[in-house]
Amino acid sequence: MPDRQAPDGILLVLRPGMQRGALKATGLCHPSSAYRRFREWLAAGVFREFWRQGLIAHDGLAGIDWR
């Protein structure tokens, strides 16, 4: 599965709460591939870094009261 398809499949399942098994019908990727990538990226800190970068971007635009 190409790296670009992995987040699409993962977010499709996480965002609307779609069942992982239904992912196969979308044609994006196989459910087991999406789940494997999710576990790999979770362990590697990818999602934590997405969150961190989002906070930095929001802080630059609107400011965050870090107290």
Using CA atoms of 45, 56, 6, 9 in order, give the dihedral in degrees to the nearest 10. 120
Is residue 29 included in any domain, yes or no? yes
pTM value surpassing 0.85: no
The structural domain count of the chain equals: 1
Other C-beta atoms within 10 Å of 9: how many? 25
Query: Tens digit of pLDDT for each residue in 10-65?
Result: 888 888 778 888 888 888 888 899 899 999 999 999 999 999 999 999 998 888 88
Is residue 66 included in any domain, yes or no? no
Other C-beta atoms within 10 Å of 18: how many? 14
Is residue 67 included in any domain, yes or no? no
Is residue 42 included in any domain, yes or no? yes
Can you give the residue range of the structural domain that contains 42? Answer: 5-61
Is residue 13 included in any domain, yes or no? yes
Is residue 38 included in any domain, yes or no? yes
